[in-house]
Chains A and B, each alone.
Chain A
Amino acid sequence: MVEGPLLEVRDVWKAFGGVQAVAGVSLRLPRGEVRALIGPNGAGKTTLLNLLTGQLACDGGVVLFKGDRISGLPPERIWRRGISRTFQITATFASLTVLENVQVAILSHQGRSRDLLSRTGRLAREAALDFLKRVGLQDQAEKMCATLSFGDLKRLELAIALANEPELLVLDEPTAGMAPQERLDLMALAVQIVRDRAVTVLFTEHDMDVVFAAAERIMVMHQGRVIAEGTPQSVREDPQVQAIYLGGLC
């Protein structure tokens, strides 16, 4: 039996007021692939990701993960199925230390977030340190999250997202706001981590250097639709993509 795609999206729609943000997107993402989702501002990329991970509800269409329908589930249930994500605007728990940020995520994964009586200090500490080591933050474990540099926050977010050992990792502009070299480094790190564990990745990104360095396949969105999909080379040469996204019109 041939295994179906890890993630399958069938004709998903979403409108805000009169604006059709996502207009009938379908996609199949096989296990183990690293795929980039690009497109101009307002193309609907972030909205699509929010539909996949449950932050928004679809107006129409279905999302299947490992063959099971996940559209309509709240974000926390989708996470428990094995899809984790990061946000475009860095989202961490600012009043906790770096280590505690990861601990919270691991304890949630272990189903202990309603434990009222244990002391958090040592719980899941080793595992959390292990995740921090993977993203190169082990030396900053005891720092308050609010004092981290921007690049380190992005790394921390990655560590948090890995805490449930996800099968699918969704990254919304993982390198936005970073210096050029930092961007390439962070994405290389992310790719290396996911390669080690055969995690499937779907990410949006504005920096084409990062996209072409990391993605195996690229999907291009425009006005809520997927207008092209293929290898980096084929997308780069696609005349329609050049016309709409990378260059001109009229």
Chain B
Amino acid sequence: MALFIVQLLTGLANAMFLFLVASGLSLIFGVTRIVNFAHGSFYMLAAYLASSLAAALPLGPASFYAAVVLAPLGVALLGGLIEVCLLRRIYRAPELYQVLLTFAVVLVIGDAVKFFWGTENRTGPSPPGLSGSVPILGQLFPTYDLAILLLGPLLALGLWWVLHRTRWGILIRAATSDREMVGALGVNQAWLFTGVFVLGTWLAGLAGALQMPRVALTTVMDSTVIVETFVVVVIGGMGSAFGALLGAVLIGVLQAFGILWLPREFQLAIIFILMAAVLILRPWGLLGRPETESGTAGEALRREVGGRLRPPRWVWAGILLALMVLPSLLPTFYVWVLVEILAFALFAGSLQLLVGTGGMLSFGHAAYFGLGAYGAALLMKQAALPMPVAFLLAPLVAAAAALFFGAFCVRLSGVYFAMLTLAFAQIAFAVVHQWYDFTGGDNGILGVWPAASLAAPVRYYYLALLAAVCGLSALWRVTGSPFGYTLRAARDHPRRCQAVGVNVRSHRLLAFGVAGFFAGLGGAVFAFAKGSVFPDYLSMPMSVQSLVMVLLGGIHALAGAPVGAAVYKLLDIVITKYTGYWQAVLGGILVFLVVAFPHGLVGFVQARWARMRASLG
């Protein structure tokens, strides 16, 4: 009983942090309609900042508390700057670009934290005066957590007071239901948006700063917290501060008891089951409102550029020939680089089917790439299948997972879809990461080598080339099939598409499965090329990479995917030669791409091509 109470209290203390972060995310989304993926980064930054301030301020024991106050303010200021300089430009842009831009901020802040604080885990200072434990029913309970339990409701009450008792709060709530009307009543939306963004980041920052003495500070805090936050808001309902509270308490308490009763591998499953149940019953969350006339990522992608680029056959033949001849002329290192590019081409090409053709903005596509890789490794190591069989079956593992997760995801659209794909990918990541007995946890699985007959670099290269050519032609075929056209029709206008007899959800699910299959094939190619698999194949940065490749190439053309994969990988090789902060550079590239080349490289060429043809008559 005592253990039960203490565990409940621990869960509630955790819930307070989740609530602070989630309510900030939810408020920002409610007013600006932007899902701020960088929200977790502000949380992480505030935690690091607070720990440094606490050490540096010359106030004795009061330094800690001064730091807890100052760090969130600093982070909120940064949030305001980012809103004014970056986000303000993209409120009317397609949500794909909004999300990518906030993702760029994730990458830059992530590397900034590594730059200033290093990659070693840090422990924050303990809170003066609150560092001990108090006995509760004979069990020891940290004093600090008790303080948090008292502070949390106060903060929730304060937030309620601001939202319901101040003019500014009333404006925020009004704008959440009808922004345009608020403008017509004389309210300058620009400042309202900035204000909400500052408030939201302050809440995230406060959570981070308060969390500082409780947990180890790590450079993956951002992705951990953002995924939990997504789960909270998906359960509670986007745009509702009370939904955030409800979702946070449910998740916090469930997690606390999960630790107690469930084996480590299955702790996440319980959250997943809760989320799935909520989504089935109320796709818009417990306290959220149903989306009106939902947008898909395709919404604004309709303004397709000019004509369609159809390179003559000899171009393809030439490229293929070059790829056949090249490896015998290249040093071994570059043969492996080419193999990686081929694996990524499959990965990006399959994502292109989802994002470009289907208008489904997936932020967790690495899950299927990674499950393909793990499928191959596990089938060979655990099921003792011969390598070629494992290689061929691996994509099916990925496709099965995609169909399973997809069944939930296709119930949603737009940014909700994106959040859910990311949440599922993160769950898959966590399972792989924690299930030591089966997947080896973060030690990965080693010795995943191709069969002896395929082991020579050039031989394996030809296998990879065969897989990539077959996979990409199949994807191309699917894109041009009645199914592909139907998928595009559903992207362009879901309601119209339903009204010509198409079950949009089931078509999207099929697309999800197909994309999962080919991502899995890419993963299998990658696994045997590296000879090992690691959990980070399923990680969020990996998912972002695939999106960047697709965006680099242009999301409208399948041909863009291999181009994007090649450009990306070569950039990676070149840039990592000069700096260890590749992610920050990638973030910069993303910002540049979103602002300068919204149609990607191939899209850019297509538009030029169309204009050239037009001028030639």
* A positions within 8 Å CB-CB of B: 53, 55, 74-76, 79-80, 84-85, 87, 91-96, 100-101, 103-105, 107-109, 112-121, 123, 144, 146, 160, 163-164
* B positions within 8 Å CB-CB of A: 301-304, 477-478, 480-486, 488-489, 491-493, 495-504, 507, 510, 514
Tell me how many residue pairs across A and B have CB atoms closer than 8 Å: 120
A residues near B484, Cβ cutoff 8 Å: 116, 120
In the bound complex, how far is the Cα of B500 from the Cα of A53, in angstroms?
A: 11
Residue in A87, A92, A100, A160 whose beta carbon sits within 8 Å of that of B485 in the complex: A100
The answer to whether A115 touches B499, judged by C-beta atoms less than 8 angstroms apart, is: no
19 A-B residue pairs with Cβ-Cβ distance under 8 Å, sorted by A, are A53-B499, A76-B501, A76-B503, A76-B504, A91-B496, A93-B489, A93-B497, A94-B493, A95-B488, A95-B492, A104-B485, A107-B486, A108-B501, A114-B483, A114-B507, A116-B477, A116-B478, A120-B484, A120-B485
B residues near A95, Cβ cutoff 8 Å: 301-302, 304, 488, 491-492
In the bound complex, how far is the Cα of B345 from the Cα of A67, in angstroms?
A: 54
The answer to whether A118 touches B485, judged by C-beta atoms less than 8 angstroms apart, is: no
In the bound complex, how far is the Cα of B308 from the Cα of A146, in angstroms?
A: 14
Q: Tell me how far the C-beta of A41 lies from the nearest C-beta in chain B, rounded to whole angstroms.
A: 18
The answer to whether A146 touches B304, judged by C-beta atoms less than 8 angstroms apart, is: yes
The answer to whether B481 touches A117, judged by C-beta atoms less than 8 angstroms apart, is: yes
Residue in A74, A93, A114 whose beta carbon sits within 8 Å of that of B492 in the complex: A93
The answer to whether A87 touches B304, judged by C-beta atoms less than 8 angstroms apart, is: no
The answer to whether A116 touches B514, judged by C-beta atoms less than 8 angstroms apart, is: yes
Residue in A75, A80, A116 whose beta carbon sits within 8 Å of that of B483 in the complex: A116
B residues near A121, Cβ cutoff 8 Å: 480
The 8 A-B residue pairs with the shortest CB-CB distance in the complex, in nearest-first order: A91-B496, A94-B302, A79-B501, A93-B492, A105-B500, A113-B486, A75-B498, A93-B489
Interface centre among A100, A113, A160 (most CB of B within 10 A): A113
A residues near B492, Cβ cutoff 8 Å: 92-96
Residue in A96, A109, A164 whose beta carbon sits within 8 Å of that of B489 in the complex: A96
The answer to whether B503 touches A164, judged by C-beta atoms less than 8 angstroms apart, is: no
The answer to whether A120 touches B304, judged by C-beta atoms less than 8 angstroms apart, is: no
B residues near A123, Cβ cutoff 8 Å: 482
Nearest A residue to B498 via CB reads A75
The answer to whether A93 touches B483, judged by C-beta atoms less than 8 angstroms apart, is: no
The answer to whether A144 touches B304, judged by C-beta atoms less than 8 angstroms apart, is: yes
A residues near B497, Cβ cutoff 8 Å: 93, 104
Residue in A94, A119, A160 whose beta carbon sits within 8 Å of that of B500 in the complex: A160
The answer to whether B486 touches A104, judged by C-beta atoms less than 8 angstroms apart, is: yes
Q: Tell me how far the C-beta of A56 lies from the nearest C-beta in chain B, rounded to whole angstroms.
A: 11
Given A74-B498, A117-B477, A107:B482 Cβ within 8 A: yes
In the bound complex, how far is the Cα of B136 from the Cα of A230, in angstroms?
A: 79
In the bound complex, how far is the Cα of B498 from the Cα of A84, in angstroms?
A: 11
Q: Tell me how far the C-beta of A20 lies from the nearest C-beta in chain B, rounded to whole angstroms.
A: 19
The answer to whether A113 touches B482, judged by C-beta atoms less than 8 angstroms apart, is: yes
In the bound complex, how far is the Cα of B497 from the Cα of A75, in angstroms?
A: 9
Interface centre among B481, B482, B514 (most CB of A within 10 A): B482
A residues near B495, Cβ cutoff 8 Å: 55, 75, 87, 91
In the bound complex, how far is the Cα of B261 from the Cα of A173, in angstroms?
A: 61
A residues near B489, Cβ cutoff 8 Å: 93, 96, 101, 104
Nearest B residue to A85 via CB reads B499
The answer to whether A119 touches B304, judged by C-beta atoms less than 8 angstroms apart, is: no
Given A80-B501, A93-B489, A160-B500: 13 more A-B contacts, CB < 8 Å: A55-B498, A76-B499, A76-B503, A91-B493, A93-B492, A103-B485, A104-B482, A109-B500, A114-B510, A119-B481, A120-B482, A120-B485, A144-B304
In the bound complex, how far is the Cα of B436 from the Cα of A155, in angstroms?
A: 62
Nearest A residue to B302 via CB reads A94
In the bound complex, how far is the Cα of B455 from the Cα of A110, in angstroms?
A: 48
The answer to whether A113 touches B488, judged by C-beta atoms less than 8 angstroms apart, is: no
A residues near B477, Cβ cutoff 8 Å: 116-117, 119
Q: Tell me how far the C-beta of A10 lies from the nearest C-beta in chain B, rounded to whole angstroms.
A: 23
Nearest B residue to A115 via CB reads B482
Residue in A93, A117, A146, A164 whose beta carbon sits within 8 Å of that of B496 in the complex: A93
In the bound complex, how far is the Cα of B497 from the Cα of A96, in angstroms?
A: 13
Nearest B residue to A109 via CB reads B501
A residues near B483, Cβ cutoff 8 Å: 113-116
In the bound complex, how far is the Cα of B304 from the Cα of A79, in angstroms?
A: 28
In the bound complex, how far is the Cα of B498 from the Cα of A75, in angstroms?
A: 6
Residue in A85, A120, A144 whose beta carbon sits within 8 Å of that of B481 in the complex: A120
A residues near B510, Cβ cutoff 8 Å: 114
Nearest A residue to B483 via CB reads A116
In the bound complex, how far is the Cα of B500 from the Cα of A123, in angstroms?
A: 17
Q: Tell me how far the C-beta of A212 lies from the nearest C-beta in chain B, rounded to whole angstroms.
A: 28
In the bound complex, how far is the Cα of B252 from the Cα of A48, in angstroms?
A: 45
Q: Tell me how far the C-beta of B234 lies from the nearest C-beta in chain A, rounded to whole angstroms.
A: 24
In the bound complex, how far is the Cα of B500 from the Cα of A189, in angstroms?
A: 21
Q: Tell me how far the C-beta of A67 lies from the nearest C-beta in chain B, rounded to whole angstroms.
A: 21
In the bound complex, how far is the Cα of B488 from the Cα of A114, in angstroms?
A: 13
B residues near A92, Cβ cutoff 8 Å: 492-493, 496
In the bound complex, how far is the Cα of B514 from the Cα of A93, in angstroms?
A: 23
In the bound complex, how far is the Cα of B482 from the Cα of A123, in angstroms?
A: 8
Q: Tell me how far the C-beta of A31 lies from the nearest C-beta in chain B, rounded to whole angstroms.
A: 22
A residues near B514, Cβ cutoff 8 Å: 116
In the bound complex, how far is the Cα of B302 from the Cα of A95, in angstroms?
A: 6
In the bound complex, how far is the Cα of B594 from the Cα of A54, in angstroms?
A: 39
The answer to whether A79 touches B500, judged by C-beta atoms less than 8 angstroms apart, is: yes
A residues near B480, Cβ cutoff 8 Å: 119-121
B residues near A76, Cβ cutoff 8 Å: 498-504
B residues near A116, Cβ cutoff 8 Å: 477-478, 481, 483-484, 514
The answer to whether A164 touches B478, judged by C-beta atoms less than 8 angstroms apart, is: no
Q: Tell me how far the C-beta of A50 lies from the nearest C-beta in chain B, rounded to whole angstroms.
A: 10
In the bound complex, how far is the Cα of B500 from the Cα of A112, in angstroms?
A: 12
Given A113-B507, A115-B481, A120-B481, A75:B486 Cβ within 8 A: no
Q: Tell me how far the C-beta of B461 lies from the nearest C-beta in chain A, rounded to whole angstroms.
A: 28
Residue in B302, B486, B488 whose beta carbon sits within 8 Å of that of A146 in the complex: B302
Q: Tell me how far the C-beta of A140 lies from the nearest C-beta in chain B, rounded to whole angstroms.
A: 15
In the bound complex, how far is the Cα of B501 from the Cα of A109, in angstroms?
A: 7
A residues near B301, Cβ cutoff 8 Å: 95
In the bound complex, how far is the Cα of B105 from the Cα of A20, in angstroms?
A: 46
In the bound complex, how far is the Cα of B498 from the Cα of A113, in angstroms?
A: 12
A residues near B303, Cβ cutoff 8 Å: 94, 146
Given A94-B302, A113-B483, A116-B514, A74:B488 Cβ within 8 A: no
Q: Tell me how far the C-beta of B446 lies from the nearest C-beta in chain A, rounded to whole angstroms.
A: 37
A residues near B498, Cβ cutoff 8 Å: 55, 74-76, 79
In the bound complex, how far is the Cα of B480 from the Cα of A164, in angstroms?
A: 22
Nearest A residue to B490 via CB reads A93
In the bound complex, how far is the Cα of B478 from the Cα of A121, in angstroms?
A: 13
In the bound complex, how far is the Cα of B501 from the Cα of A108, in angstroms?
A: 6
The answer to whether A93 touches B493, judged by C-beta atoms less than 8 angstroms apart, is: yes
In the bound complex, how far is the Cα of B483 from the Cα of A76, in angstroms?
A: 16
In the bound complex, how far is the Cα of B496 from the Cα of A84, in angstroms?
A: 10
In the bound complex, how far is the Cα of B481 from the Cα of A121, in angstroms?
A: 8
Q: Tell me how far the C-beta of B423 lies from the nearest C-beta in chain A, rounded to whole angstroms.
A: 27
Interface centre among A100, A107, A109, A118 (most CB of B within 10 A): A107
In the bound complex, how far is the Cα of B496 from the Cα of A96, in angstroms?
A: 13
Nearest B residue to A106 via CB reads B500
B residues near A84, Cβ cutoff 8 Å: 499-500
Q: Tell me how far the C-beta of A215 lies from the nearest C-beta in chain B, rounded to whole angstroms.
A: 23
The answer to whether B503 touches A112, judged by C-beta atoms less than 8 angstroms apart, is: no
Given A104-B489, A160-B500, A164-B500, A94:B304 Cβ within 8 A: yes
B residues near A104, Cβ cutoff 8 Å: 482, 485-486, 489, 497, 500
